[in-house]
A and B are shown apart, each in its own frame.
Chain A
Amino acid sequence: MTAAYLTKRLLLVVYTLLIVSLLVFAITQLLPADAAVTLLGQSATPEALAALRARLGLDQPAWLQFGHWLMAVLHGDLGTSMRNGLPVLGSLVDALGRSLLLAGCSLLLMLLVAIPLGIVAAVRRGRPVDLIIAMLSYIGVSLPEFVTATLLILLFADVWQLLPATGYVPLSENFVEGLRHLILPTLTVSMIMVAHVSRMVRSEMIDVLETDYIRAARLKGLSRRRVLLRHALRNGLLPTITIVALDVGYLLGGIVVVEEIFNIPGIGRELLVAVAARDLPAIQGGVLILAATYCVVNFVADLAYAYLDRRIQYA
């Protein structure tokens, strides 16, 4: 991995975050909500409103407001929530922690299920197993989270009474209960990604299995198993890193819905509440943090890919 590549990739992250903040700021500026009216209420006098606007800088031109906002964000200040007057950053960071726990569990479960499924489908291509996996993945990618979630709650919480329907228990408070509350949300979030990633793994693996070096390895007399594990997997799974990183965008979107359904106080629910209340600083902060998370994940994935790919080339 060269320093030039690293610099270029880092600059890209900075540029991305700049564009995202510009976009988020521009869109929220179009909101018909007037922050001064929101804070003081409909019955406030025009003088009081004007004074507050001046104090909040709302009477300045948009680009100047953006500049001030961006500077504040760079100093770690996302403003104060218009709902409860608390700093946005603090509550969002707390919420993000809970969301990342859910996201991490879902990602782990997804990888544990999707990669073996994809490999089996590729190796048994065209056989009944492959067809069954294909059918399941079509169903998986086509069920929206809110449908999956409700189905799971109906089965596991109502019919079989195995797991709690909704709610969130911090792992530090009660580890077992916390895990039990995480199972259904995790299943829901990973479902669509399992379907997508296993299909990708399958097609990458099929490509790899048809290459000359795999044929050569088989002709050399190596066993199927050995060829698969030692030669094919390494190259076949490499592109999965990129695919999974891109899917994180989908994951972060899915989390919004799942947190809402399962009543998990994560950043997704925080955002939905902010949107409903037209709480500008909270909306801006929430979207920015999620986009930044996505950026960082993809940055790390690209570096990992470059690193691993290089090793394979020169091995």
Chain B
Amino acid sequence: MPISIGEFNMRDIFYRLLASPQGLLGSLILLLAVVLVVAGPALAPFDPEAISILARYKAPSLLHWLGTDQLGRDILSRLLIGARATISLSVLATVLAMLLGALLGTASGYLGGRIDEALMRTLDAVMSIPSLLFALLIVSTLGKSDFNAVLAITIAFVPGMARIARSVALAARRQDYVNAAIARGESAAYIVVREMLPNIVAPIIVEATIRVAFAIMLFATLSFLGLGAQPPQPEWGLMVAEARRYFFQAPWMMLMPGLAIAIIAIGFNLLGDGLRDALNPKGQRS
């Protein structure tokens, strides 16, 4: 049986995704991200922690492709190692938020009525605290570390994901298969998890893909502010923060990790838009 998302066949979606320029470029960057996360440490030409006094502030060259930093550490190697922290932790935060948000939103949409109204108004209220501030607040409570930054991003993202899930769930709620399940006398939990969730996965995945880009930026920003990953960890945002002091004399120190963040974020944005088009073949908003 072919794997499908909603009424679409996985293979069709994949072909349509690769046929659009955004989808193709986004997929290529995603592939790059996967390679970085899986094989980054193996590909690193130097030890990312190796300090070399003779090789400080070296501009990009054949030996050090992306240059070296204030301690003579190879920037390419640090970027390759740091991909794990930046990319995989951001994806983790988004996936956690997606699961929690989808469950909450679908349940709210299914229950409807007063509960739905109260839940949504409360989520709206929570969303009036800007994500970065919310994350700041949580990290300041839990203490600064990369794991706490992940938790903070997750919590900050849940209301938004729940809203999206709920709006799709409301449409699904009126479908015949849900009414059929209610008529069969299935429990609310069964209907939410087994009947509704699988059918609203597509829009939620699109939203989550775009959110990964935002999570990467948020995570890097928290690290940049000193509240996420801690030195000497080669996290990209932290690398930018550390490079700021030296950036008039060695701008590449800051530019390289900054570009890395931007490229991966662009990739997830493109992929999200490509997926949305691939899942809505009739939608004309390319």
Binding site for B on A (CB under 8 A): 12, 15-20, 23-24, 27-28, 30-32, 138-139, 141-147, 150-151, 154, 158, 203, 206-207, 210, 249-250, 252-254, 256-257, 260, 271-272, 275-276, 278, 283, 287, 290-291, 294-295, 298
The CA-CA distance from A141 to B133 in the complex, in Å, is 19
Most central of A158, A249, A272, A294 by chain B CB within 10 Å: A249
The CA-CA distance from A100 to B164 in the complex, in Å, is 30
Residues of A within 8 A of B262 (CB): 139, 142-144, 147
Residues of B within 8 A of A138 (CB): 266, 269-270
Considering only CB atoms, which chain B residue lies closest to A24 in the complex?
Answer: B137
Is B61 located at the chain interface by the 8 A CB criterion? no
Is B258 located at the chain interface by the 8 A CB criterion? yes
Residues of B within 8 A of A250 (CB): 130-131
CB pair A295–B130 under 8 Å, yes or no, is no
CB pair A291–B251 under 8 Å, yes or no, is no
Given A150-B240, A278-B140, verify A291-B128 contact (CB < 8 Å).
yes
Given A15-B121, A150-B258, A151-B258, verify A290-B130 contact (CB < 8 Å).
yes
Q: A141-B213, A206-B284, A287-B133 are in contact. List 16 more A-B contacts (CB 8 A).
A: A15-B125, A16-B128, A141-B269, A144-B217, A144-B221, A144-B224, A144-B258, A145-B221, A146-B240, A147-B240, A154-B247, A249-B127, A254-B132, A275-B137, A276-B226, A298-B128
Would you call the interface of chain A mostly helix, strand, loop, or mixed?
helix
CB distance from B70 to the nearest CB of A (A): 16
The CA-CA distance from A143 to B240 in the complex, in Å, is 13
Given A147-B240, A147-B262, verify A257-B129 contact (CB < 8 Å).
no
Residues of B within 8 A of A17 (CB): 125
Q: Looking at the complex, which one of B130, B138, B285 makes contact with A249 (CB distance below 8 Å)?
A: B130
Q: Looking at the complex, which one of A20, A146, A154, A275 makes contact with B224 (CB distance below 8 Å)?
A: A146
Given A147-B258, A154-B247, verify A252-B133 contact (CB < 8 Å).
yes
The CA-CA distance from A210 to B284 in the complex, in Å, is 10
The CA-CA distance from A64 to B131 in the complex, in Å, is 29
30 A-B contacts, Cβ less than 8 Å apart? A16-B124, A17-B125, A20-B126, A20-B129, A23-B125, A23-B126, A23-B129, A27-B137, A32-B143, A142-B217, A142-B262, A142-B263, A142-B266, A143-B265, A144-B220, A144-B265, A146-B237, A146-B240, A147-B240, A147-B262, A150-B244, A150-B258, A253-B131, A253-B132, A256-B133, A272-B136, A276-B226, A290-B129, A291-B128, A298-B128
The CA-CA distance from A253 to B217 in the complex, in Å, is 12
CB pair B240–A27 under 8 Å, yes or no, is no
Residues of A within 8 A of B139 (CB): 275
Q: Looking at the complex, which one of A20, A30, A271, A275 makes contact with B125 (CB distance below 8 Å)?
A: A20
Residues of B within 8 A of A275 (CB): 136-137, 139-140, 227
Residues of A within 8 A of B122 (CB): 19
Residues of B within 8 A of A290 (CB): 129-130, 133
Residues of A within 8 A of B129 (CB): 20, 23-24, 287, 290-291, 294
Which B residues, 225 to 278, have Cβ-Cβ distances below 8 Å to chain A?
Answer: 225-227, 237, 240-241, 244, 247-248, 251, 254-255, 258, 261-263, 265-266, 269-270
CB distance from A62 to the nearest CB of B (A): 14
Binding site for A on B (CB under 8 A): 121-122, 124-133, 136-141, 143, 213, 217, 220-221, 224-227, 237, 240-241, 244, 247-248, 251, 254-255, 258, 261-263, 265-266, 269-270, 284-285
Considering only CB atoms, which chain A residue lies closest to B268 in the complex?
Answer: A142
The CA-CA distance from A206 to B160 in the complex, in Å, is 26
CB pair B141–A30 under 8 Å, yes or no, is yes
Most central of B126, B140, B244, B284 by chain A CB within 10 Å: B140
CB pair A206–B285 under 8 Å, yes or no, is yes
CB pair B224–A139 under 8 Å, yes or no, is no
CB distance from A195 to the nearest CB of B (A): 10
The CA-CA distance from A202 to B30 in the complex, in Å, is 26
CB distance from B286 to the nearest CB of A (A): 8
CB distance from B58 to the nearest CB of A (A): 19
